[in-house]
Structure 1
Amino acid sequence: MVAAPESIKNSSPMGFHALTLAVFFGASAAPTPLYRIYQESFAVSPILITVIFAVYAFALLGALLIAGSISDHLGRRPVIFGALILEIIAMALFSIASGPEWLIAARIVQGIATGIAGASLGAALVDIDRARGQIVNSIAPLSGMAIGAIGTSALIQYGPEPLHLVYALLLAAFAVQAVALWLTRETGGTRPGVFGSLKPAISIPQPVKRPLSLVTPINIANWTLGGFYLSLVPSLVASTTGSHAPLTGGAVVAALMLSGAVSVFLRRSRSPKANLAFGVSAQTLGILTVVAGVHLANVPLLLIGTLLTGAGFGTNFLGSIGTIMPLAKPEERAGLLSAFYIQSYLAFSLPAILAGFLVRSIGYGATTDIYATAIVLISLAGLMAVRNTRAPCVHSDAQRTL
């Protein structure tokens, strides 16, 4: 084997790991602009589309809970490499999919791969630089999903083979990253106890229980919103505005994630309580604007509303994490984060399935009205609870931990 150049071996892997994390989450958003095409090509109902979306979230959550700390024992690079191989398999399954059962299988494998990669790449980034790593862990997934949504939409609209091209390109990208990974230095170490680490550790420390209960309504509303966008919004845009251009629906989804990433970066030094107040306000205004855009069939209004909604989405997540994580001891944070992710990903997936049933029964417009009303009321109730409590809201770097 040809020796790798010393400059590559000795360079910081921060950029490589950040890019890899972004590509994983970009791939997770790639099917979103294709859901409408899958509906037409495979005669898939809105309910089944949301199930295909939800199994990814369940698989990702399971991977986080079971294998989230496995890289602490086996080292970062071997675990990241395993996740890349699984993701390559998922891209291959998407490429040869001929029906919904193939899509479900691909999303399950992709969810497992992304969960393992998210935990191990996130840990590697913090290994390299704690402060910068935490910021990258917050921004890279949102940025990746924005690029994945808009990039896939552009390939569908202007490229050949819309059901295959994006997955072929992503498969090639992951293959290159799997090779390049071994040219970067190992950031972690190894230690015994790998089998014991596979037992999910979920716990909520006593000092965190009340703060977590206070931010729970905001967090549930936030992730319900994210699940609705990533599962149904491209079809919603086509149905209500009459614009069937893939770039239109993709741009709306990308706007949510991109503005979320920007808001995380701009408000990273603000207190959690201030972030929650800003986040709920921006999200409420944005959702009302989105509803107006839906009923007026106005795409620019939809985009403006989504940018406001995304700013609230990112800031609410930042404020929720910042409220609870600093109150836990270092040895308690993994279990607390697991509990937080269970809550978040259940809110991300289960309401999306309900949305699929509602769309089939009452249509996209009425479903949007119901979801918008529920999200606004729940998040405002959560904000009132946070404002009325005298419990301290600690501010530290831990608020940016993912």
Structure 2
Amino acid sequence: MQESSRSLWIYALSVATFFGASSAPTPLYRLYQEAWGFTPATLTIVFGTYAFSLLVALLMTGSLSDYLGRKPVILGGIALEIVSMFVFAQAHNVQVLIIARGLQGVATGAATSALGAAILDASRDRGALINTLAPLFGMGLGALGAGMLVAHAPWPMTLIYVVLIALLLAEGGLTLSLRETVAPIPGALAALVPRVHVPRSARGAMLRVAPVNIAVWALGGFYLSLGPNLARIVTSSNDVTVGGWVVFALTTSGLAAVVVLRGLATLRLLTVGAIALVAGLLITLWAVHAGSAMIFFIGTIIAGTGFGSAFQGAVRSVLPLAAAHERAGLMAAFYVLSYLAFSVPAIVAGTLAHSIGLRPTTNLYGVALAFLSVLTLLASTLSKESGRNVEQSCKAR
């Protein structure tokens, strides 16, 4: 195997592991709630701690690998992620759980932009696709795998973290064997000053895809925090694996959409994603009111199709526009937007669910995300019309 292909798959596996670790606690939340007696609002604070610490790490270390090289930043992230897994495994109250989530957020934030940039270094052609597939694959497998281990294996609140530690150690060893793709340059300390940098060449695209990217990540945040509780209400089941299956349905359908629809033009991919997201959300809301588990999963799968398509369209619209020395910084900016959408709406939803109930909160959440998706459809229509006008103008000349 060529060095670039080997690097591509090792870094892709690492991204999947980080995102798998981020969703692994989801099926365990019910066990934590039963053991320590905290509310859905506290649950979303636990979830939000991860996302906000990740944001801080992205702001401070997002472009660090452009100065130090990819490998030192990735290895540092892996080391801190292993520490967070140890803390998860030893957690005995919600305060320790919050500390574990905070450490995990810092580790993921430090490693994510470096890994994404390293994937683009390894393959500019396949990099955007891999950067779309790996997080979806990881999140789905992490949630489902954790649910299965909780239900069918010993040490339900510990074993998944032991498995993840083993994977991370292996990936750290493989990363050490890879060739560095970025020569260190001065300026690393200055790069730690929190900032978001979107290269001028990518700003217009970033603005156009912002509404649907926010909708996609807000949907993911809701499913990873309150999705299992909603699924248990709709399915009337106390099976701990239900939460894992819901997240798996969302992310796997997204993964399938990425693979099947990857040949579409970027603008059309965004349009298809936005339409599927709206349709899936409306069907899911219908299922919540009807109390139908089958319709709920169908809606989730359709929404997941929109999730994958729109996310791929957003990634393809933005990330290839940066030069090599701007990639990590742009990845950081893209993920700052994504994780703000991932965390803030979920925390608001958790607070609302505590005061007005989960079903009304789901209605408000779904309508808001559908509105954002419609904005993207309007933006896509305007982009097409603008493109036609420019083309006609050029022909007239």
Say yes or no: TM over 0.5: yes
Q: Report how far residue 190 of structure 1 moved.
A: 2.2
1:398 is matched with none
Which residue pairs with 1:345 in the alignment? 339
Alignment pair present for 1:73 and 2:67? yes
Does residue 35 of structure 1 match 2:21? no
Cα distance, 1:21 vs. partner? 1.7
Letter in 1 for 2:23: A
Helix, strand or coil: the match of 1:383?
A: helix
- Say if 2:92 is the partner of 1:101: no
Q: Quick one: which of 104, 125, 142 aligns to 1:110?
A: 104
CA distance in 1, matches of 2:80, 2:199: 34
Q: Contact 1:8–1:183 at 8 Å: present in 2 too? A: no
Q: Secondary structure at the match of 2:128?
A: helix
CA–CA distance in structure 1, aligned partners of residues 223 and 375 of structure 2: 22
Distance (Å, rounded) in 1 between the aligned partners of 2:357 and 2:156: 26
**Alignment partner of 1:296 is 2:290:** yes
What secondary structure does 1:13 align onto? helix
Task: Report deviation, 1:205.
Answer: 5.9
Per the TM alignment, residue 339 of structure 1 is displaced from its structure 2 partner at its CA by 3.9
Please name the residue that 2:123 is paired with.
129
Which residue in 1 is equivalent to 2:38? 44
**Preserved CA contact (<8 Å) 2:23 2:143:** yes
Residue 399 of structure 1: aligned partner: none
Q: 2:357 aligns with which of 336, 341, 363?
A: 363
The question of whether the paired residues in 1 share the 8 Å contact of 2:54 and 2:109 is answered with: yes
Query: Matches of residues 200-219 of structure 1 in structure 2 within 5 Å?
Result: 200-204=194-198, 211-219=205-213
Aligned to 1:241: 235
Q: Does 1:276 align with 2:270?
A: yes
5 Å-filtered alignment, 1:307-322, equals: 307-322=301-316
Secondary structure, counterpart of 1:184 in structure 2: coil
Q: Deviations over 1:102-157 (max 9, x none)?
A: 11111111111112221222222222222223321211111011100100010111
Aligned to 1:226: 220
Separation of aligned partners in 1, 2:313 and 2:174: 35
The verdict on how the C-alpha distance between 1:191 and 1:81 changes in structure 2, with shifts beyond 3 A counting, is same
Q: TM-score, normalised by structure 2?
A: 0.89
Residue identity opposite 2:15 in structure 1 = L
Aligned counterparts, 1:160-171, within 5 A: 160-171=154-165
Corresponding residue for residue 4 of structure 1: none
* Preserved CA contact (<8 Å) 2:128 2:316: no
| Cα distance between partner residues in 2 of 1:186 and 1:327 | 22
Structure 1 CA distance for aligned equivalents of residues 165 and 210 of structure 2: 37
Structure 1 position 329, deviation (Å): 6.5
Q: Does 1:250 align with 2:249?
A: no
Query: Which position in structure 1 is the counterpart of 2:184?
Result: 190
User: Are the equivalent residues in 2 in contact too, given 1:230–1:253 (CA < 8 A)?
Assistant: yes
Counterparts of 1:13 and 1:319, CA distance in 2? 24
In structure 1, what residue type is equivalent to 2:36? F
Question: In structure 2, how many angstroms separate the alpha carbons of the residues matched to 1:211 and 1:159?
Answer: 46
* Structure 1 residue 86 displacement after superposition: 0.2
Q: 2:85 aligns with which of 69, 85, 91?
A: 91
C-alpha change, 1:23 and 1:326, in structure 2 (3 Å) is: closer
Q: Does 1:286 align with 2:295?
A: no
- Quote the offset at 1:10 in angstroms: 10
Counterparts of 2:106 and 2:214, CA distance in 1: 22
Rate the CA distance shift 1:364–1:127 in 2: closer, same or farther, 3 A: same
> What one-letter code is carried by the residue in structure 2 that aligns with 1:138?
T
Q: Check the 8 A contact 1:267/1:275 in 2, yes or no.
A: yes
How far off its partner does 1:251 sit?
A: 0.8
C-alpha distance 192-210 of structure 1, shift in aligned 2 (>3 A): closer
For the 8 Å contact 1:259–1:311, the answer to whether it is kept is yes
In 1: Cα distance, 2:209 partner to 2:127 partner: 25
Identity %: 43
Spell out, residue by residue over 1:356-399, the C-alpha distance to the aligned partner (whole angstroms, 9 max, x if none).
Answer: 11111222222211211221123213322431354449xxxxxx
Q: Which runs of 5+ in 1 are unaligned?
A: 1-6, 394-402
Change (3 A) 1:218 1:178: closer
Give SS of 1:12's match: helix
Distance 1:206-1:24 versus aligned 2 partners, 3 A rule: closer
- Cα RMSD, aligned residues only: 2.6
Against the structure 1 CA distance between its residues 322 and 131, is the aligned structure 2 distance closer, same or farther, given a 3 Å change threshold?
closer
Look up the match of 2:395: none
Which among 351, 354, 358 is matched to residue 348 of structure 2? 354
The aligned amino acid for 1:42 is W
One-letter amino acid matched to 1:287: L
Q: Residue type matched to 2:89 in 1?
A: S
User: Using the alignment, how far apart are the partners of 1:131 and 1:49 within structure 2?
Assistant: 40
1:326 Cα offset (Å): 5.9
Deviations 1:163-191 (A, max 9, x none): 11111221222223323432333343322
